[in-house]
Structure 1
């Protein structure tokens, strides 16, 4: 859809002259006597079909759309029950969950800040305490959603030369995984209170931040990733190679950076059950605070997490092929559909060269038929 919109905008603005694609002979010969036959339209139908398909069934846009369940309060018998549920969720569950979260933060900072700022030396002891505190706080978050999480497979172990990769639906993916093991995560830098938590809390467990709009960040992050995976006492590294949140029905292209580190790649598949709430975070339409409020006013957050067998680069296999093989494993295990899109297109417009090439192909297909 984005590519189609860009092409249309370019045509409207530039008004390319179709005579540029005509031969000199065809320009000199008048064509008023010629008729456009049905076969002429049929011959350009693949291009028209592609355009219509982009409008009707845009597989890229569908990856980033929330799919709310069908309403069930449609008659006089169910509507009163739905109203009662709203009162319980907003009047009882939400205040109690906010209280649990507030108490959790108070206890967390009461223990974390003295360890982080006051105690000098004993770095290994400090790291262990911070790991446990971060795990505890993530458990408080999951409790505030009445999280029902079922973990499958062995718990992640603290070993060097390994990296964990998972499909990405929301920032809560990290919280759900972090309550089981203190991962060091690579994540987009966020503003506000989330940025404060990143700088003061998550950096203490070795997390790495980047800004997708800064080209220089890629080299710095790649170097930090290699250094982190070589450390013996570092926390396991967690990467979301899609690079953006997808709606838990699809998986988009995995970035190859996580698969070029020369270490074991441990796939993690996450699948949310939408029976009570859709956990997808559409960051372009909703702040993370409002996303948390939506989760805390639902009945529960239900999901399954599978820790799959570690994978290694095979002889003769490229990093891109390695990434696709791991994506296949995660997609099959979580029941997700694979699509061949780069998730960063969600943030950036397609290259002008791509849209110009599409325009040229379409113009040539039309003019070839008119010349006959």
Structure 2
């Protein structure tokens, strides 16, 4: 009952205030009994209401949940202020210095190896993998990352692909620091795009643009070629296709589950006591996301490497994807929802929502006038 009350209170804030349009006469003249034709007349309205509830359950997957305030009292507020000073004035500059020093060492070693060992690809790829792992470890250190890994570590073997739930681009960094993965990732602009093209390309990563339909065929072909390569780095994919707030899992895309190889599930769960690691890319750049992590106390998470799974006889790739999602959700304690994460990028505009609310109010008023 508490959950129903909270849901109704949230819906009350969003629905149109129809009472403002009603007069006392229209309220007194409203019918006392509900007939079949009245029920048929309001069926579109009920469908709209059900759609609003569905939309609410979808948007919850992509909202940050701020922790309950704990510091607004005379005892804890001074300690909180002291913590702010420590995090921003001492820890943050120290972490920036660590990150800059790591970049200097990385670039000083990476570019000579990348350009001077062109004829020795085996050694070049091996050194580049170690350098990428080292740089990811520096990133984790800049957040004071506390990561606990469970299960056997990934190994370089053909015919396998790793899939994980997706909360932020730091998921890749946390996994990459102990094993160099080739990741399939959305193209990004700015300094992130530069790193993708010049550095992560050295470990065999594959890029795509979700707004270009022609990319799908090219990416699918590259994926099949990569998983069958003997010396290629393990392939890492985030089949949700977008960042989710680490409380839910949305539908997995079937691309990783129709490659005809072993699928190795990876479950990632962040502890939100110190910081919420969810990256809302529509509201915050990745640079500001890193700043938020670097001004927190720590990034704490658990990573579980689960048993490899194979397509069962008579099982479709979609059913295979759902079975793996069940495993990841159960291990990380995440709630499953039946929505496609790509809908996040095709949300209706506020003007369209307001127009729908206006049409709803006008239809109710028109119905009352007929009565």
TM superposition score normalised by structure 2: 0.83
Q: Secondary structure at the match of 2:303?
A: strand
Question: Which of 269, 279, 282 lines up with 1:281 in the alignment?
Answer: 279
Question: Which of 33, 38, 41 lines up with 2:34 in the alignment?
Answer: 38
Q: Deviations over 1:262-304 (max 9, x none)?
A: 0000000000010000000000000000000000000000000
Tell me the C-alpha RMSD between the 2 structures: 2.3
Q: Secondary structure at the match of 2:131?
A: helix
Q: Secondary structure at the match of 2:62?
A: coil
How far apart are the structure 1 equivalents of 2:33 and 2:188? 57
Q: Deviations over 1:58-91 (max 9, x none)?
A: 1100000000101111111111111000000000
Unaligned runs of 5+ in 1: 1-7, 9-34, 351-361, 367-372
1:38 Cα shift? 1.5
1:52 Cα shift? 3.4
How far apart are the structure 1 equivalents of 2:314 and 2:118? 49
Matches for 1:105-254 after TM superposition, within 5 Å: 105-254=103-252
* Residues 99-108 or 37-46, more deviating: 37-46
**Structure 1 moving runs of 4+ over 6 Å:** none
> Residues 100 and 236 (structure 1 numbering): CA distance in 2 closer, same or farther, change over 3 Å?
same
* Residues 42-51 or 105-114, more deviating: 42-51
Question: Which of 63, 76, 79 lines up with 2:77 in the alignment?
Answer: 79
**Partner in structure 2 of residue 334 of structure 1:** 332
Q: Secondary structure at the match of 1:137?
A: helix
Q: Secondary structure at the match of 1:303?
A: strand
1:43 Cα shift? 5.6
How far apart are the structure 2 equivalents of 1:328 and 1:86? 40
How far apart are the structure 1 equivalents of 2:47 and 2:246? 26
Unaligned runs of 5+ in 2: 1-14, 16-30, 349-359, 365-371
1:316 Cα shift? 0.3
How far apart are the structure 2 equivalents of 1:239 and 1:47? 41
How far apart are the structure 1 equivalents of 2:139 and 2:180? 15
Aligned length in residues: 323
1:117 Cα shift? 1.4
1:131 Cα shift? 0.5
1:51 Cα shift? 3.4
